[in-house]
Amino acid sequence: MQLGIFTIGDVTTDPTTGKTPTEHERIKATVAMAKKAEELGMDVFATGQHHNPPFAAPANPPVLMGAVAAQTENIQLSTATTLITTTDPVRIAEDYSYAQHLADGRVDLTLGRGNTGPVYPWFGKDIRQGIPLAVENYQLLHKLWREENVNFSGRFRTPLQGFTATPRPMDDVPPFVWHGSIRSPEIPEQAAFYGDGFFHNNIFWNKEHTERMVAFYRQRYEYYGHGSADQAIVGLGGQVFMAKNSQDAVRQFRPYFDNAPVYGHGPSLESFMEQTPLTVGSPQQVIERTLSFRDYAGDYQRQLFLVDHAGLPLKTVLEQMDMLGEEVFPVLRKEFDALRPAHVPQAPTHESLVARHLAGKDPIPGGGPDSQAAKDRAAKAEAAEAAQKDSK
């Protein structure tokens, strides 16, 4: 089990002091968090991608990845979201390959459409085409990382002719991709088709919804011939706030929750905790609640927590990280690993992907050549070709 934290980089006023950090302070705090995560032996540090206030998350996450890579040695660097809809796939291919080299392979990414509607016209895109953009752009990104002299023609960008993205992925193995979605089944379908991971942020939704999304991805992963449903690669998010006893945790976090732009001025803290995975309490309560995620998500590979939102000062965030790294994560890692059957894989790393590549076991989009999915697609292609000939 990979355990870590992620940030969305919001610049939010601390409701208890009235202080709003500057963008410079927020950016420096993000680097401090990443270094702290490494010191605590966490497995993953992930960042969001935003292009507008009130966020200081990087518009180009590989810039942050490069800075953190230079100051760490072991931690996996990921994204909470890479905007596949409004970021050109050529740019993604080149920037993340470059970051992968800087980090000696310690880079993967989570593709998503984002939660800021106006970002689409800022980059000349139509939000009504969000799903088709995600599908087509990843088709191109997947190709750019695996082929040279690429020819490509689609609906949303100028064609490519004989184009080779540089630098090439380290060891000829692209960064592992997670596809993130909280509500659109087309995205877990896409993840399953390519044999990639599926990440559900698991923050604003009830467990029944998350269970349906994960179950759908697992079923399609098996259908496309990548392995059994329980071998699919699943990641979950979540958010926590802790104190030694639950009463202090609730008392300290309440003003942040009540005023947070993302969920303040709505349901009460108690209602939100009951209806979603938000856990505010003692470290033991966080352990017990997180272990229960397995009841509806199955044996999964990555768990990331949001700990720095809603105006929480850096000092408090680092204290939360201390509790996670010293009290919570060791227990979670031990318990999850003990429960995981031997045939269920761990989260992919660059080393494991290189080993698969050298053994000739790279995932084939849509399953192996003998899978039913491959046969179905071949039959459809033949039928389409025949129909096209008939029309002529």
Looking at the fold, whether 247 and 271 belong to one and the same domain comes out as yes
- Looking at the 3D structure of the chain, how many domains does it have? 2
Eight-state DSSP code of residue 229: G
Q: Which residues pair with 163 in a beta bridge?
A: 150
Looking at the fold, whether 323 and 369 belong to one and the same domain comes out as no
Looking at the fold, whether 270 and 380 belong to one and the same domain comes out as no
Q: What is the largest CA-CA distance in the chain?
A: 75
Q: Kindly list the distances between the CA atom of residue 1 and the CA atoms of 202, 284, 300, in Å, as whole numbers in the listed order.
A: 17, 18, 7
User: Digits of tens for pLDDT over the chain (392 positions)?
Assistant: 999 999 988 889 999 999 999 999 999 999 999 999 999 999 999 998 877 777 777 778 999 999 999 999 999 999 998 989 889 999 999 999 999 999 999 999 999 887 667 777 777 777 788 788 999 999 999 999 999 999 999 999 999 999 999 999 999 999 999 999 887 889 999 999 999 999 998 887 888 999 999 999 999 999 999 999 999 999 999 999 999 999 999 999 999 999 987 776 788 999 999 999 999 999 999 999 999 999 999 999 999 999 998 999 999 999 999 999 999 999 999 999 999 999 999 999 999 999 988 888 776 555 544 444 445 544 554 555 565 556 55
Looking at the fold, whether 346 and 382 belong to one and the same domain comes out as no
Determine the pLDDT at residue 119: 76
Determine the pLDDT at residue 390: 60
Determine the pLDDT at residue 115: 64
The token pair that represents 45 in the structure block: 């540090």
Looking at the fold, whether 244 and 378 belong to one and the same domain comes out as no
Measured between alpha carbons, how far is 110 from 198 in angstroms, rounded to an integer?
A: 9
Looking at the fold, whether 257 and 375 belong to one and the same domain comes out as no
Looking at the fold, whether 383 and 328 belong to one and the same domain comes out as no
Looking at the fold, whether 134 and 204 belong to one and the same domain comes out as yes
Measured between alpha carbons, how far is 136 from 160 in angstroms, rounded to an integer?
A: 14
Looking at the fold, whether 229 and 133 belong to one and the same domain comes out as yes
The token pair that represents 79 in the structure block: 């994204």
What CATH number is given to the structural domain containing 219?
3.20.20.30
Looking at the fold, whether 332 and 379 belong to one and the same domain comes out as no
- SS3 (DSSP) at 376: helix
Looking at the fold, whether 326 and 354 belong to one and the same domain comes out as yes
Q: Kindly list the distances between the CA atom of residue 71 and the CA atoms of 36, 63, 100, 106, 115, in Å, as whole numbers in the listed order.
A: 11, 13, 15, 13, 30
Domain span including residue 374: 364-392
Alpha helices in the chain (DSSP H): 23-39, 61-69, 89-102, 119-122, 130-146, 186-194, 207-223, 246-259, 269-275, 283-291, 293-297, 314-323, 329-339, 350-358, 372-391
Looking at the fold, whether 220 and 74 belong to one and the same domain comes out as yes
